[in-house]
């Protein structure tokens, strides 16, 4: 309190009028008495996150919140700075999606000290206190991709895994689960793991190199839709962008469930994806931050929205939302049921 008072006293009278509310605890309310909530968008260079950005203000309005938004552009330093901005604006809670799940710890500690609850969406911090993690089971993403490709390849052959950033728990979970599943269930399938840092250009270059050295590769697992356009371009250049019944067809599984993936499945260009719920991420991230502001608490167990809350470590709960495997036929692969790509319940088919 002394530091903030000194800061407010040091500025000019005009500036002081602006900074005083920031330096004080502030009302934390916006127009009409709505709670003031900060939402940091992690990036805007992928269709998935742009969809999340579109949904967020819609649910904020439904839940009666006044939102302050920033974009950290996949940079933890910017996320840290954006958190300071939110503090100065007097927000009562913050939603963020840290892409570097280790480096965010000091910021979380600062927010905890200021009693500002944090909900993380899509990613779970490696350490640090958060009120709730809103996420799907990312290990299940890798397992579902593995079971689909393993079934389609008859348990034999070669596949390329275009990994996400392994500094992110999502990249680690999907990569480790895919590898573990392959070793356990399909030991005769050789996996070429390629680090991409969620970069589509890097993914395309590495896929091209792998296909040149191993023209008999028959499967590709893209850990997110960032690699979609590049993968399709490389397959087309190699003469491998053939229909599912063609012997040249390379089976491709993605993660996200964006409209372009669903369309590509319908056209036979790729074969499956896991629909990561961009709409529900936005809805329940804001739902939980409002609950935190209202002083509500939760326990592990089933929810009323087809998910389950689990305890991932001391004091940290995670609401694992549903993320189904999506295919053209809606069949079951390796014990994993799928839904058809034209299912109107999928958010990717309802994005206006």
**How far is CA 263 from each of CA 228, 318, 331, rounded to the nearest angstrom?**
12, 31, 18
- Residue indicated by tokens 């290990």: 139
Q: Is the pLDDT of residue 307 over 90?
A: yes
Residue 176, classified by CB atoms within 10 Å of its CB into exposed (0-12), middle (13-18) or buried (19+), is: middle
The stretch 66-92 carries a mean pLDDT of 97
Tell me the percentage of the chain whose pLDDT exceeds 90. 86
- d(CA 144, CA 181) in angstroms, rounded, equals 9
Residue 75's CB is within 10 A of a number of other CB atoms, namely: 15
Tell me the percentage of the chain whose pLDDT exceeds 70. 91
The stretch 310-331 carries a mean pLDDT of 95
CB contact at 8 A, 226 and 259: no
Please give the pLDDT value at position 40. 98
Lowest mean pLDDT among 4-8, 63-67, 161-165, 335-339: 4-8
The model's pTM: 0.84
3-state SS of the chain is CHHHHHHHHHCCHHHHHHHHHHHCCCCCECHHHCEEEEEEECCCCCHHHHHHHHHHHHHHHHCCCEEEEEECCCCHHHHHHHHHHHHHHCCCEEEECCCCCCCCHHHHHHHHHCCCCEEEECCCCCCCCCCEEEEECHHHHHHHHHHHHHHHCCCCEEEEEEECCCCCHHHHHHHHHHHHHHHHHCCCEEEEEEECCCCHHHHHHHHHHHHHHCCCCCEEEECCHHHHHHHHHHHHHCCCCCCCCCCCCCEEEEEECCHHHHHHHHCCCCCEEEECCHHHHHHHHHHHHHHHHCCCCCCCEECCCCCEEEEEECCEEEEEECCCEEECCCCEECCEEEEECCCCCCHHHCCC
Please give the pLDDT value at position 314. 86
Per residue in 141-200, pLDDT tens? 999 999 999 999 999 999 999 999 988 889 999 999 999 999 999 999 999 999 999 999
Lowest mean pLDDT among 6-20, 26-40, 115-129: 6-20
The stretch 78-100 carries a mean pLDDT of 97
Per residue in 220-271, pLDDT tens? 999 999 999 999 999 999 999 999 999 999 999 999 999 999 999 999 999 9
Please give the pLDDT value at position 315. 85
Please give the pLDDT value at position 31. 60
Tell me the average pLDDT of the chain. Answer: 91
Please give the pLDDT value at position 47. 87
């Amino acid at each position: 309190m002394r530091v903030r008072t000194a800061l407010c006293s040091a500025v000019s009278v005009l500036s002081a009028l602006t900074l005083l509310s920031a330096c004080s605890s502030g009302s934390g309310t916006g127009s009409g008495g709505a709670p003031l909530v900060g939402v940091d968008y992690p990036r805007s260079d992928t269709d998935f996150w742009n969809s999340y950005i579109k949904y967020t203000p819609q649910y904020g309005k439904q839940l009666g919140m006044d939102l302050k938004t920033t974009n950290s552009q996949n940079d933890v330093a910017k996320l840290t700075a954006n958190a300071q901005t939110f503090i100065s604006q007097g927000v009562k809670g913050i939603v963020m999606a840290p892409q570097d799940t280790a480096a965010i710890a000091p910021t979380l500690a600062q927010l905890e000290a200021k009693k500002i609850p944090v909900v993380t969406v899509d990613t779970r911090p490696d350490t640090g206190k958060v009120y709730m993690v809103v996420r799907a089971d990312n290990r299940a993403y890798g397992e579902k991709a593995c079971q689909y490709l393993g079934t389609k390849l008859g348990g034999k052959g070669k596949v390329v895994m275009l990994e996400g950033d392994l500094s992110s728990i999502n990249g680690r979970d999907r990569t480790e689960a895919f590898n573990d599943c392959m070793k356990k269930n399909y030991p005769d399938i050789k996996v070429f793991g390629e680090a991409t840092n969620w970069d589509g250009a890097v993914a395309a270059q590495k896929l091209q190199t792998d296909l040149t050295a191993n023209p008999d590769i028959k499967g590709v697992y893209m850990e997110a839709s960032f690699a979609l356009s590049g993968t399709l371009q490389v397959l087309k250049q190699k003469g491998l962008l053939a229909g599912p019944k063609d012997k040249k067809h390379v089976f491709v599984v993605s993660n996200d469930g964006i409209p372009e993936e669903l369309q590509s499945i319908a056209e036979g260009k790729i074969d499956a994806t896991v629909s990561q719920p961009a709409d529900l991420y936005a809805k329940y991230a804001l739902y939980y931050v409002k609950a935190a502001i209202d002083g509500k608490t939760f326990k592990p167990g089933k929810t009323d929205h087809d998910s389950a809350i689990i305890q991932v470590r001391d004091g940290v709960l995670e609401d694992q939302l549903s993320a189904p495997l999506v295919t053209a036929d809606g069949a079951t692969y390796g014990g994993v049921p799928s839904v058809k790509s034209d299912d109107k319940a999928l958010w990717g088919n309802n994005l206006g």
